[in-house]
Structure 1
Amino acid sequence: MNNTGKPFKKFLLLWGGEFISAIGSGLTSFGLGVYVFQQTGRASAMALVTLLAFLPSLLLAPIAGVFADRYDRRLLMVIGDSFSVIGLVFILLCMLFGKTQLWQICVGVTISSIFTSLLEPAYKATITDLLTAEEYTRASGLAQIASNAKYLISPALAGFLLSISDIKLLIILDICTFFVTVTSTLVVRKGLISKKAESAMSFKKELKDGWITVSKNRGVLVLVITTSVMTFFMGFIQTLAMPMALAFTTSAMVGTLQTVVAMGMLVTSIVVGIIPIKKGYVKILSLALFLEGVFMAGFGFRENILLMSITGFLFFAMMPLANSSLDYLVRTNMDNAVQGRAWALIGVISQLGFVAAYAVSGVLADYVFTPLLVEEGPLANSIGKIIGIGSGRGTGLLIIIAGLLLSIAAVILYQLKSVKNLEKRGDLCTTK
């Protein structure tokens, strides 16, 4: 029984490296968001950068998943971390030699995203390598703190740094964090057996096996597809929260706001890490998603920092509950041998909603909803009297609508029998 302590300590070391890396990524993400919005004044420009920072990593995830099952998972993490710096260096050099154009930022974030694609499936599969089924939800809660440190710490820190310097400092700090991440990953790698390439099986066959692993379980497939619908709605607040806030306040205040609301995720993640969820996964998942939608609607309701802080805090507080439940339901219904490629495909399918949201949210906000709620706009004397008018109110209305639709989708999810059956099979797995 004492053997379980050492693997978890190794997980904590790996977790620490990812935590530092996420803070650095968050600094760059926040800084670029503010920089692009200040240069263009368009939510659609911010959404484009967000899309290009996300899409390559998502599309390459299935290939990265096969790599995670074929080769040394820790070595893949080192390669991904190291080479993702290339994109950041490109943006930094462009800024040092003149005013950076939007296309240059797009190229840089795309390059970085391509190499970052190696990280996620290898990291998730490594958790399974290290831990037992009983430790999954605890590890998931802690992993969410690390992966979301860009929301917890980075915004306020970035806002402060931008008040005394500029975005170049943020990018330099992000570049430096890779040394910590690579070192922690190499230390963990020492104690684990490296996987060797399986030349007997073709690359195409491994991708197909990953799809079969996901699709043969109807409950997993339905859950993942339903999740993609929900990520579509959540993608609106992720893309539009910053431009909505920047329409009436400063970047420093926006940074503080983002950190305050993300504290909700920290609080719940700590609770889940200490007191793991042990039953009622489907119910917790559905309820958490339903409340996320309600709080999203509240976030967009008014240009009021206090209201946005409270509803944003509660929105983030629901995320660890939803993510931990989803993680358990999927992880306990798949074989470990194919988890790398399976997680990669799950990531692609479930996060296609984010891609769609990033692609349309900025355009809808700038060219459809914003004109509706400016002074003398078509909805200024109706909905405008309730939620207010101004350059950011159309964006707020779009967030409200997306939140309400998310709540409706959560109710539908709870009614699906194939998803409820996953919990029964998962319980059998953990009691073996």
Structure 2
Amino acid sequence: MDFRKFLIVWAGQLLSMVGSGLTGFALGVHAYVRTGMATHAALVTLSSFLPSILLRPIGGILADRFDRRLMMIIGDIGSAAGVAFILIFMTAGEPGLWPVYAGATVSSVFVGIQSPAYKASATDLLTGEQYSKGSGLVQLAESARFLLSPFLAGWMLHQFGIATVLAIDIATYMTAVLTVFLIRKRMKPARAADEGGRWLAELRDGWQAVTVNRGVFLLILMISLVTLFLGFLETLIGPMVLSFSDARTLGTIQTLCALGMLASSLLLGIFSVGRRYADILAAGLFIAGIAFSLIGTTTNVYFITASGFLFLAAMPFVNMSCDVMIRSNIPNEIQGRAWGIIGILSQLGFIAAYATAGPLADYVFNPLLEDGGPLAPTVGRLIGTGPGRGIGFMFVICGLLTAASALVLSRIRSIRALSANVASGPGAENGRAGEPA
């Protein structure tokens, strides 16, 4: 029965994620068309991303103090209000971009409240045996956002304009709120709200929950490293492809690659994969690393598409394994705070990538592989020279480092111990999560 309740909440969040993807795509295009500068589109992305990451530890405390249903409702309503703010000013004819930045920031703040509660609610609604399926379905929703939202947003912008896109996003948030209302189960840890103590103390509890177990902490550091490389790919795949092709080709490549994540997430949502999560993690990460490298070796769009498909098909297995091993080794009563800390630590890689990818490509790697560049006679003979080939070289290096990380990870006993500790619920036997691995 609780799995059916999880499916109801998940369906609402699926619609909300697709709606958020519509808005993210549309606002980025809007900012670029208005100014002709990629910087403004990047600022939209930063406004939509950074506040939610920084505030997730606070959202985690709230998720452990109060009913997680309430936190999800507040988060979705607040996010909708941020989008509505943008819509109001656009409808009024505001020529500047400040309402976009402000509204995106407000929406992102409330995502920081909603996300830890949603993450922790899965533990309330699922049994230990259902964690991998639940994780697969969550990733299915995320992959649907990348698969559906760009095409839908592009079509809607052409047919109806950005106001319609924003209005639809608001409607998806309200649908998500309705699905949470339908769950008539109070999702709150046994600990009462007035027992929480000081907020700084609870932040420390969340930090200790993810650092006292050496395996959990090392796994989170590994996730942050993966998000760094993924951030490079997300930021630079467009410039690399556009250096030898066009936007239509880029969109087709991204959609076909996203099918890999969709297919794997769907498989994980339907089938159980056993308990060898550490082995699944290492294998998935190794395959993803090799595929990442292959993306950078050529300008052949078919080879890039196949490699990207393989890369994204491997990532749900990596994410699912990390999710299950962490969730099963942290007690339920502190999962909200723990996921808040995990959220910010694991996303540091994205922040670093967004800040450094452009300068590294423009001022370091691309000049190395220009015609006549320092590496043109050596590396250039293997992957080519000219515009965008430096980015390809970055991808090769990042992919090889990812594959090497998988090999190292497979040898770390404390991470393998996390897989052995996976049982019927979080913090198996109520004590393991607090013991150093």
TM-score (norm 1): 0.89
Unaligned runs of 5+ in 2: 430-437
Could you tell me how far apart the structure 1 residues matched to 2:2 and 2:43 are?
40
Any idea what SS the aligned residue of 1:148 has?
Answer: helix
Pairing partner for 2:60 from 58, 61, 65: 65
Q: State which drifts further: 207-216 or 153-162.
A: 153-162
**What's 2:219 paired with?**
223
**What's 1:54 paired with?**
49
For the pair 1:295 / 2:303, whether they are aligned, the reply is no
**What's 2:210 paired with?**
214
For the pair 1:19 / 2:14, whether they are aligned, the reply is yes
Q: Deviations over 1:132-169 (max 9, x none)?
A: 11111111111111133211211222333344454444
Pairing partner for 2:185 from 186, 191, 195: 191
For the pair 1:279 / 2:275, whether they are aligned, the reply is yes
Could you tell me how far apart the structure 2 residues matched to 1:93 and 1:248 are?
40
C-alpha change, 1:400 and 1:21, in structure 2 (3 Å) is same
Cα drift, residue 117 of structure 1: 0.5
For the pair 1:172 / 2:174, whether they are aligned, the reply is no
Could you tell me how far apart the structure 2 residues matched to 1:160 and 1:329 are?
40
Unaligned runs of 5+ in 1: 1-5
For the pair 1:311 / 2:307, whether they are aligned, the reply is yes
Pairing partner for 2:75 from 72, 76, 80: 80
Cα drift, residue 113 of structure 1: 1.1
Cα drift, residue 333 of structure 1: 0.8
Aligned AA for 1:17? G
Q: State which drifts further: 283-292 or 255-264.
A: 255-264
Any idea what SS the aligned residue of 2:193 has?
Answer: coil
Do the aligned partners of 1:235 and 1:354 also contact (CA within 8 Å) in 2? yes
C-alpha change, 1:392 and 1:161, in structure 2 (3 Å) is farther
Cα drift, residue 230 of structure 1: 2.2
Cα drift, residue 301 of structure 1: 2.7
Aligned AA for 2:224? S
For the pair 1:324 / 2:320, whether they are aligned, the reply is yes
Cα drift, residue 377 of structure 1: 4.8
For the pair 1:117 / 2:124, whether they are aligned, the reply is no
Could you tell me how far apart the structure 2 residues matched to 1:36 and 1:79 are?
28
Aligned AA for 1:345? I
For the pair 1:426 / 2:422, whether they are aligned, the reply is yes
Q: State which drifts further: 368-377 or 407-416.
A: 368-377
Q: State which drifts further: 294-303 or 385-394.
A: 385-394
**What's 2:383 paired with?**
387
Do the aligned partners of 2:64 and 2:188 also contact (CA within 8 Å) in 1? no
Do the aligned partners of 1:65 and 1:122 also contact (CA within 8 Å) in 2? yes
Pairing partner for 2:153 from 158, 162, 165: 158
C-alpha change, 1:8 and 1:257, in structure 2 (3 Å) is same
Aligned AA for 2:287? L
**What's 1:3 paired with?**
none
C-alpha change, 1:11 and 1:394, in structure 2 (3 Å) is same
Q: Deviations over 1:178-216 (max 9, x none)?
A: 12111111111x233567622562222222222222222
Q: State which drifts further: 207-216 or 123-132.
A: 207-216
Could you tell me how far apart the structure 2 residues matched to 1:377 and 1:168 are?
47
Aligned AA for 1:412? V
Q: State which drifts further: 134-143 or 408-417.
A: 408-417
Do the aligned partners of 1:43 and 1:243 also contact (CA within 8 Å) in 2? no
Do the aligned partners of 2:69 and 2:187 also contact (CA within 8 Å) in 1? no
Any idea what SS the aligned residue of 1:360 has?
Answer: helix
Cα drift, residue 282 of structure 1: 0.7
Q: Deviations over 1:314-344 (max 9, x none)?
A: 1111111111111111111111111111111
**What's 2:253 paired with?**
257
Aligned AA for 1:59? L
Could you tell me how far apart the structure 2 residues matched to 1:427 and 1:333 are?
9
Alignment of 1:342-357 (within 5 A): 342-357=338-353
Aligned AA for 1:320? P
Alignment of 1:117-136 (within 5 A): 117-136=112-131
Any idea what SS the aligned residue of 1:60 has?
Answer: helix
Q: State which drifts further: 355-364 or 379-388.
A: 379-388
Could you tell me how far apart the structure 2 residues matched to 1:111 and 1:247 are?
35
Any idea what SS the aligned residue of 2:264 has?
Answer: helix
Pairing partner for 1:338 from 327, 334, 339: 334
TM-score (norm 2): 0.88
Aligned AA for 1:267? A
Any idea what SS the aligned residue of 2:172 has?
Answer: helix
Pairing partner for 1:417 from 408, 413, 417: 413
C-alpha change, 1:92 and 1:194, in structure 2 (3 Å) is same
Do the aligned partners of 1:265 and 1:319 also contact (CA within 8 Å) in 2? yes
CA-based RMSD of the aligned residues comes to 2.7
Do the aligned partners of 2:127 and 2:425 also contact (CA within 8 Å) in 1? no
For the pair 1:146 / 2:146, whether they are aligned, the reply is no
For the pair 1:401 / 2:361, whether they are aligned, the reply is no
Do the aligned partners of 2:221 and 2:345 also contact (CA within 8 Å) in 1? yes
Do the aligned partners of 2:124 and 2:187 also contact (CA within 8 Å) in 1? no
